Amino acid sequence: MVSEICKIMQNKELAAGIFEMILQSDKIAAAAMPGQFVHIKVKSSSFALLRRPISIHYADKAAGTFAIVYHVVGQGTEEMSRIESGECIDVMGPLGKGFPIFTDKKCAVVGGGIGTAPLLELAKNISDCDAYLGFRNCNYKTEAFEQSCRNVYVTTEDGSYGNIGYITEQLEKRITDYDVIYTCGPKVMMQCVMDICCKNNVECYVSIEERMGCGIGACLVCACKIKEVDGEWHYKKACKDGPVFNAKEVIFDV
């Protein structure tokens, strides 16, 4: 993990309220693994003492850059959206435990909304991978997954792109084709993915998105419920022990 001031190479609006930011950092790009995140300090004099945890979308090790995708939902991300190319921002990372990568198994990534972002770097690192991407509408772009995956299945809740409905319906039709499933997105969606995998004895890994304070396991803001072997549960830190966990360990209060 490094902490440095990174130059913004691009901060582009992909769709309404959805931005992709490309940052320059040889060290972070070189160290980044699929599923890890960075902790960003928004430069503001009036608020936002805490950093913003945002998943790494992809890393270009040759260029020494990495990208994040974020949704403008509050003051911090609104401030980020106004940063221009050439400006700099304070970044810590890469942080957390990422996805395990299997080169000898048939895999699929299942993402919902902004939760699709951290799955791209994973898909790029798996030779035999399908993608299942679910959105509310057609505001999101899927071309990068189409370049990296064998098959890409898309659903929108309003039917504006791909199949109408929920992406878990498409996954359930083909679940027996896979050895490993990776998922990130709304907790309700991930719980459904976990249930489908459990029913069909398919290995599953989930990326948990929680509010974070320190990003290094000291403050307990991101504590999440994890199952013990004996069936009891305790809290683990999403920032340090995760954000990726085996689905058999995870308890979602949904």
Checking if the pLDDT of 243 tops 70, the result is yes
pLDDT at 168: 98
* 37-51, 136-150, 210-224 — most confident range: 136-150
Q: Which pLDDT score is estimated for 133?
A: 97
pLDDT confidence of residue 29: 98
The rounded percent of the chain whose pLDDT value lies above 90 is: 68
Q: Is the pLDDT of residue 141 over 80?
A: no
> What is the C-alpha R_g of the chain?
18
What does the pLDDT read at residue 48? 53
So what's the architecture of 2-95 in CATH?
Answer: Beta Barrel (2.40)
Domain with CATH 2.40.30.10 in the chain: 2-95
pLDDT in tens, 30-53: 999 999 999 999 876 455 567 889
What is the pLDDT, as a whole number, of residue 254?
61
Least confident range of 17-21, 114-118, 229-233: 229-233
* Average pLDDT across the chain, whole number: 90
This prediction has a pTM of 0.91
Q: Which of the two residues, 104 and 252, has the higher pLDDT score?
A: 104
> What is the DSSP secondary-structure string of 74-126?
SHHHHHHHT--TT-EEEEEEEESB-----SSS-EEEEEEGGGGTTHHHHHHT-
pLDDT at 94 over 80: yes
List of long-range contacts for 158-163, beta carbons under 8 Å, 24+ apart: 161/135, 161/137, 162/133
In the structure, what pLDDT confidence band is assigned to residue 211 with cuts at 50, 70 and 90? low
Return the higher-pLDDT residue of 103 and 106.
106
Across the range 152-181, mean pLDDT stands at 95
Taking the C-alpha atoms of residue 234 and residue 221, their distance in angstroms, rounded to an integer, is 15
Q: Is the pLDDT of residue 6 over 90?
A: yes
Q: Are 175 and 202 in contact (CB under 8 A)?
A: yes
Residue 253: pLDDT band with limits 50, 70, 90: confident
**Tokens 């960075």 map to which residue?**
38
CATH architecture of the domain with residue range 107-249: 3-Layer(aba) Sandwich (3.40)
Q: What pLDDT is recorded for position 45?
A: 46
Residue with more model confidence, 222 or 171 = 171
The C-alpha angle 147, 8, 54, rounded to 5 degrees, equals 65
All CATH 3.40.50.80 domain ranges of the chain, comma separated, are: 107-249
Interval 188-192 mean pLDDT:
96
Return the sign of the alpha-carbon dihedral for residues 179, 181, 32, 128.
positive
